[in-house]
Chain A
Amino acid sequence: MTEQVLSPASPPSPVPGAPPVMRRRRTWRRFRRRPMAMAGLVLVTGFLLLALVGPFVTADPTSQDYAATLSPPSPGHPLGTDDLGRDVLARIATGARTSLQAGLVSTLLAMVVGIPIGLVAGFYRRWLDPIVMRLVDVVLAFPFLIFAVGLAAILGPSLRNVIIALSVAQLPGVIRITRGEVLAIREMDYIPAAVADGATDPYILFRYILPGAAGALIVQATVAIPTAIIGEATLSFLGLGVQPPTPSWGVMLTSAQQFLSQAPWLAIWPGVMIALSALGFNLLGDGLRDVLDPKEGPR
């Protein structure tokens, strides 16, 4: 609870003034001094570029070349071809898009649903909180994969259902963190002051409490994305997620499994990509935690 929380102590100005900008600049300066965090930023940027630009510059990921199946890396196919003669590099680039969608959309969805629930639960502690927390316990009792299994069984496997399963899996975390922050911020002096000024509950929640919780939530989102990326790959690998021929790193590894001895490169690159993008977000998350959320970081 440092400067970001204390700033609304002064009467709120309708236009955010200079202080937040300076704060952002200082945060960036502290962030930049951490080599691991910067490495994470580089990896994440690379991943975003690959997903956004990659598919435009690589070959067609679905065009099959039966003359060149399972061919090792060559100038024409820098990462080789798969069992249907499709260019692995192109499929990696398109697969990045699937990963990005799964990671970002599921996290966004979990935030949009979870933050209001957490805010309200923490704010109306007496009567709403116990109910919400018990429901969170129920959701937690469904391991992510098992929930996804149920969902795939009921609605059929698809990227959309993967995203739903991923965001439900993230919900307990988002709700708990938001609630925890609300409970801490409620104790700050400026909340009773705002109440005395006649501020309404929604106004207090969104004007005072939510900005205070932003740091912790940004960190939470950053560490949730890699979990979602891995989750999508895992479900797709098991056949419960993205369906072929849509390229997904998980699907690519499913087919690679059958050709492990003939074409080991097929099993290498998709995995490396999953690991690197997840590592990038994890590094970024640890770095952000250090600069944004001091109580959680290393002392």
Chain B
Amino acid sequence: MGWFILRRAGAAIIVLFLGSALVFFGIRALPGDPATVLAGQEASQEAIEAIRHDYGLDRPLPVQYVDYLGRTLQGDLGRSTQDKLPVADIIIERLPITIELSLLAIAVAIAIGVLTGIVAAVRRGRFADYMATGFGLVGLSVPHFWLGLLAILLFSVTLRWLPASGYVPFTQDPVGNLERMLLPALVLGTGFAAVLMRQTRSAMLGALSADYVRTARSKGLAERRVVGLHALRNSLTTVVTVLGLQVGVLISGAVVTEQIFVIPGFGKLTVDAVATRNYPVIQAVVLVTVVAYVLVNLCVDILYAVLNPRVRLSGVAGD
């Protein structure tokens, strides 16, 4: 297991390295002088010069890149062109909000997606299966942001059950926080649930037709144990892997959801930064996303190894 994790960690570091290079050189590929861009549109000549000096833009590109990596590793992500605050501070302020939203959405997605996926596989070809499969297809086809608009239209505008938008920190008002997070989490989680449902169903169908499930039945075990322990345990590896690969979808979804429900999280920060051409923030936001994706997938790899005795004991990947 140690060997497997080590190899995955090595791969993760390579991806991080290449990803950061892409972010760095992407911004440098901008037409014109990066200092002008980084300083913002209405910056004075002195400000541009300061930026040029600050970022060492007069030095060769590879040197700049190493320098940039060094700063980043020390937590220095530059300053926002809007309010001149350190970008790192802004992100640390916004990120927890998005993490809360994502965790709630994942909980919704697992509750809905994995459960309906299991039911669909067990009741294959029956009414419940058609309902679940239909839900999966519709869930894949309806865009998050429209679902969000409909939810606001129904629950906030028409029924007036829940506030349409806004955010209250959990520490300040836990009930108010959850009240405002409920709809966004449901909206974000439903789309994700559709993906999970389809993957769970197909993994469970595979497991249910496996020889070891027949063995479990021959022991006289109750169907609940056969499905819930023997088949599900082996499907979980697939589900976990899908969860990791779909983190990108979740991040993209969070950006949109925060925009609709006006939640001041990381996603809102991203869209606002583009609207105001706040390049230091954009650069940092993209980098943080890449880091988040790589870290989550490293966690998924570890979880995969824990779930799969083959990998856990010998360090050989399952397939």
Contact = CB atoms under 8 A, between A and B. Distances in A.
Direct contact of A and B (CB under 8 A): yes
Contact of A143 (B14, B137, B202, B289): B289
Interface in B209-256: 209, 245, 247-249, 251-252, 255-256
A256 interface: yes
A238 B255 contact: yes
Contacts of B150: 267, 271
A145 B19 contact: no
Interface residues of B, number: 55
Nearest to B23: A150
A260 B26 contact: no
B275 interface: yes
B141 A134 contact: no
B286 interface: yes
B261 to A, nearest CB: 11
15 contacts: A141-B15, A142-B286, A145-B255, A145-B256, A146-B289, A149-B285, A153-B282, A237-B256, A240-B274, A253-B146, A257-B260, A260-B152, A267-B153, A274-B146, A299-B206
B290 A282 contact: no
Contacts of B85: none
Nearest to B260: A257
Interface of A: 134-135, 137-138, 140-147, 149-150, 152-154, 226, 230, 233-234, 237-240, 250, 253, 256-257, 260-261, 264, 267, 270-271, 274-276, 278-279, 282-283, 286, 298-299
A279 B271 CA distance: 28
A119 to B, nearest CB: 22
Contacts of A239: 271, 274-275
Q: Chain A binding site: helix, strand, loop or mixed by DSSP?
A: helix
B251 A143 contact: yes
A154 B157 contact: no
Contacts of A275: 138, 141-143, 146
Contacts of B146: 233, 253, 267, 270-271, 274-275
Contacts of B271: 149, 238-240
Contact of B248 (A143, A237, A299): A143
Contacts of A134: 11, 14-15, 18
Given A138-B19, A279-B137, A146 B149 contact: no
B294 interface: yes
Given A149-B286, A238-B271, A140 B248 contact: yes
B22 interface: yes
Contacts of A149: 255, 270-271, 274, 282, 285-286
Nearest to B142: A275
A184 to B, nearest CB: 13
Given A238-B256, A283-B137, A146 B286 contact: yes
Contacts of A257: 149, 260
A234 B285 contact: no
B205 interface: yes
Interface string B290-313: 100110000000000000000000
B145 interface: yes
A278 B140 contact: yes
Nearest to A147: B286
B30 interface: yes
Contacts of A234: 143-145, 252, 256
Nearest to A150: B286
A138 B252 contact: no
Given A256-B149, A279-B138, A144 B144 contact: no
Interface string B107-140: 0000000000000000010000000000001101
Given A141-B15, A233-B143, A146 B138 contact: no
B138 to A, nearest CB: 7
Contacts of A230: 141, 143
Interface string B60-101: 000000000000000000000000000000000000000000
Contacts of A250: 145
Contacts of B22: 138, 142
A276 B205 CA distance: 28
A164 B177 CA distance: 38
A260 B158 CA distance: 10
A154 B294 contact: no
Contacts of B1: none
B27 interface: yes
B159 interface: no
B19 A142 contact: yes
A285 to B, nearest CB: 10
A87 to B, nearest CB: 21
Contacts of B260: 257
A239 B14 CA distance: 33
4 shortest interchain CB distances as A-B pairs? A145-B252, A143-B248, A271-B146, A278-B141
A137 B15 contact: yes
Nearest to A274: B143
A36 to B, nearest CB: 8
